[in-house]
Every structure is written in structure tokens, then in C-alpha cells.
Structure 1
Amino acid sequence: MEDKGINFVKTLNLPEVEEKCFERLVRLIGRLNLSHPLIFDVGANIGQSIDKFRGAWPDASIHCFEANPSVFQYLHTQYAAEKDLYFNPVALSERIGELSFFATRVAEVSSLLSPTQRMQNLSVEHKYDYEEITVPSETLDHYCETQHISRIDLLKIDVQGAELSVLKGAQGLLSAGAVSMIYLETTFADCYENQTLFTDLLVYLSQVGEGYELWDIAPFLYTGRDQLWAANSIFLSKSIAGELLK
């Protein structure tokens, strides 16, 4: 019987759309005169975002978080000599301790959430086949407290469906409006068990503290049946949005 769901064999990827969203982010930070932004890269993978951030802001300080041990080893080796980079081999979530982590065959789709069985069955390259391991977990609030960090200019999150858990672990910072901008990837297709939905993000971020405003959304990946699969979004704190609207 033919599967009437998502066609994972043929997808439409629009990297130019993703790039333009990042360019708009760069312009936003430029309007705030932040030449040395403090950036948190949650789900750093092998450093793709580090390269982008350093290209835009050579003097940025970047705190990197990558839970996959093998990927972290590559990341640290690749960038160890660079200044103002801080490496953390932990998962950020709403809990301090240890969590299950699903290290997939293709590392960039690894997650704190297990891929759905249907996703594994439909992925012809078996990229979602996984090994379940245990990794250390930290909250953003606790990390910033121990590092004496009171404000984050840019919080980038790419954690394959576990975005809400990361944000809940930063509730103190978000309630205080201490995170200026949030730049995150959201998955719309049914890829992971109990994954964060975009509506979950909208509700949570609109209600935490004074609230965060959705400033931009850029869909960049569609399934073979033209269903939205992934998009990048920019959320701004109320105070930052107010400054930019002056």
C-alpha cells in the first residue's frame, strides 16, 4: 500500500531563503549597534553557525552547546584555537542531570526526542536510525548563573523538536527580558515523538515575562508533496522590538 504521508525521497530545499533570513538577522543586530554580541549556539553540531556568526561579527563571544559526544569532539578540535569560543558538551533542556539522547546515523538530525517509527521507515537513507545514549543536561538559567552572565544578545536554537524544553530552562532569563533575540529552526513535519509545535513556541514566548514578538519566519524546506517541513524564525524581546520600531 502506498504511504500517503510525507515523501522524504524528494524534498524542496531553499537554502537561499534560509540565508536571507540570516542576513535579516545580521541587519537587525547592526541596527542595535552590537559589534561584540554575546551569542549562545544551542545545537552547534560541527560549527556551521559558528562560521556564519564569525563571518558577520568577528569579535563575537560564542557559547557553544553540543550534546552528541562524537560531534562535540570534532567541533572542539576544529575550533579550539579560536578566541572567545566556549565549548560545552551538554544538552540544554529544562532539567539539570542526565537525559536520553538519540544519536542518529546522520548527526545533524540527532535529538533529545526519538524519531518517529514512521520517519525511520520512510527515510530511504536510514538517516533517522539511532543509538540511544545518556548525556549530561543543563538549564540555560543555571549555566548563566554559574558563568555570571546576565544578558544574551542572540540565542540560536537548533535542537530538532526539543526547542520548548530549552526555552523552559531559560524561563528566568526570558521572564526578565534578558535574551534580546531568539533565532531558531522549527520542524513542522511529524519527525520526533512529542516534538515542539510552532504553536507551542508562539504561546510560550508570547506569555513569558513581557512576551516575545515573532519578527520573521522563513520556510526553507518542503516535502515532496509541498508540505512545510522546516522554517527559521526570529523572535525579539518587547524592548528590542520597541527600539527597532522607533
Structure 2
Amino acid sequence: MKRQINQLRKVLFAIVHPACWKPLTLGVGAAIEHIHGLRGLSVDGIIDVGANVGQFSLACRILYPNVPIVAFEPIPDAATLYRKVHGGCRDVTLKQCGLGTEAGTAVLHLSRSADSSSLLPIGELQTQVFPKTEEVGTIEVPVARLDDFTSTWSGRNNQILKLDVQGFELNVLLGGQQTLQSCRFVYVECSEIQLYQGQAVRQEVSSFLESKG
């Protein structure tokens, strides 16, 4: 019931926001659960890491229609749909790659629930807590460092950096320490417990961010 109510809320939200009409025909709604926390900020750029099919980017487009968005998504099917959702938006750019501590390639562990896929192996606890998220295959994907793209957001000092990368948050941050200097807001999904093998938990991620001011 909770899921159906949330879906209904997204449809109602989409009806009154024209930017949502095309995405809705593709089965994609804005991540309205983030709207309250994002509203009213002074920002000059948005970096969406782990963009999936563009739900968070869509919410940001509605709140900040003139602010450029740079998104990162390594899963081919998700990246393809992201481009359809945001196609024609001049200020939205998608980089089809993962992010980590160094450039190269990496194995992406695909989950039965696509948005639970990770560059880390899926742990036993993950599948216990969240059924139907077990690994169903692997693919090799390109990986870069966030700091490899600093020229893309040169001159910006009030960016939002959003991370939703299924346990790989600290790796992304370690590869983006220069980028952090241009980010006023860092919005991270992280876990109190280790759901993926080798995952840094919330306290480790928080300690790193605090050390960077």
C-alpha cells in the first residue's frame, strides 16, 4: 500500500509540472522524496552520481531549471533511459561510467533489482534485509575519478554533490577531493551496516567528510 501511495503522489506531482510529462510516459517519476531537503538552496551546479534513470536529476530540474546537471551512471540500460528522460535538455550531461579512486575498468555486480547493483560484491546481509536483490550477473564498465571532470564545473563554488552508489561512496569521495572544494552541499545515501563486501559504513563516510570541512 505504501508503494502505491508513493506512486500516486509522483503521478499527481507530475501532472502539475510539465517537465515531468515526457518522463512519465517512459515510466519515470521525479524523486519527490528529496524535494523538501533540496528546496531553497543557493546552487550553481548539480553532480548526480549514481543517477540511475534520472529521478533525482528530474527533481533538480524542477527546483533549479537553470542550473547545470552532470550525471554519472555505469549501467547501460539505465543510462539509455536517462538519456531518453532528459533528452533535449541543454543543461543536462550524462557520463556513462562508474566513479572510484582511479581510472580504468571495473566489474559491476548486477542485482535482480537494478538499482541495487554495485561495484562491490553484493553481501549476504543485503539479500536478507532486501529480498530479490541478489546478484544475477556481472559486466565490465569504465571507471573514472570524479576529479577527472573538474574542468566541467570550473568556476562553480556552490554545487550539490549527490551520491547513491550502493556502498561505493567513500571510493567516489576519495577520487573527488578536489571536486569537494566546489561543493557546498554533499547529499549521500549510506548505510549503518555493511550490505556490500568492503563497504564503508556511514561513520566512515561522515568522518571523511568532516575531515574535509
TM-score, length-scaled by structure 2: 0.78
Go from structure 1 to structure 2 and tell me whether the alpha carbon gap of 1:58 and 1:196 turns closer, same or farther (over 3 Å shift).
same
CA distance in 2, matches of 1:141, 1:118: 32
CA distance in 2, matches of 1:44, 1:20: 15
1:76 partner letter: R
Go from structure 1 to structure 2 and tell me whether the alpha carbon gap of 1:96 and 1:106 turns closer, same or farther (over 3 Å shift).
same
CA RMSD of superposed structures (Å): 2.6
In 2, are the aligned partners of 1:116 and 1:193 still within 8 Å (CA)? yes
CA distance in 1, matches of 2:57, 2:129: 32
1:25 maps to 2:24? no
Residue 101 of structure 2 corresponds to 94
Go from structure 1 to structure 2 and tell me whether the alpha carbon gap of 1:21 and 1:68 turns closer, same or farther (over 3 Å shift).
closer
In 2, are the aligned partners of 1:67 and 1:90 still within 8 Å (CA)? yes
In 2, are the aligned partners of 1:40 and 1:62 still within 8 Å (CA)? yes
Deviation for aligned residue 1:25: 2.9
Q: Secondary structure at 1:186's aligned position in 2?
A: coil
1:151 maps to 2:156? yes
Alignment of 1:196-235 (within 5 A): 196-208=200-212, 211=213
In 2, are the aligned partners of 1:64 and 1:88 still within 8 Å (CA)? yes
| CA radius of gyration, larger in | 1
Residue 87 of structure 2 corresponds to 80
CA distance in 1, matches of 2:92, 2:34: 24
1:112 maps to 2:147? no
How many residue pairs get aligned? The number is: 187
CA deviation map 1:67-104 (0-9, x unaligned): 11111111112222222110110001111111111121
Structure ranking higher in strand proportion: 1
CA distance in 2, matches of 1:21, 1:54: 13
Alignment equivalent of 2:73, drawn from 66, 69, 76: 66
Deviation for aligned residue 1:121: 5.5
1:192 maps to 2:196? yes
Go from structure 1 to structure 2 and tell me whether the alpha carbon gap of 1:148 and 1:81 turns closer, same or farther (over 3 Å shift).
closer
Go from structure 1 to structure 2 and tell me whether the alpha carbon gap of 1:94 and 1:150 turns closer, same or farther (over 3 Å shift).
farther
Deviation for aligned residue 1:184: 1.3
Show structure 1 runs of 5+ residues with no match.
1-10, 212-246
Alignment equivalent of 1:181, drawn from 181, 185, 188: 185
CA deviation map 1:12-57 (0-9, x unaligned): 9xx79x9676413323x1xx3x4xx310100000111012101111
In 1, are the aligned partners of 2:193 and 2:201 still within 8 Å (CA)? no
Q: Tell me: higher relative CO, structure 1 or 2? Use CA pairs within 8 A at least 6 residues apart.
A: 1
Show structure 2 runs of 5+ residues with no match.
10-30
Residue 56 of structure 1 corresponds to 63
CA distance in 1, matches of 2:179, 2:103: 16
CA distance in 2, matches of 1:110, 1:159: 8
In 1, are the aligned partners of 2:126 and 2:133 still within 8 Å (CA)? no
Q: Give the share of equivalent positions with the same residue, in percent.
A: 26
In 2, are the aligned partners of 1:144 and 1:150 still within 8 Å (CA)? no
Residue 143 of structure 2 corresponds to 137
Deviation for aligned residue 1:113: 0.9
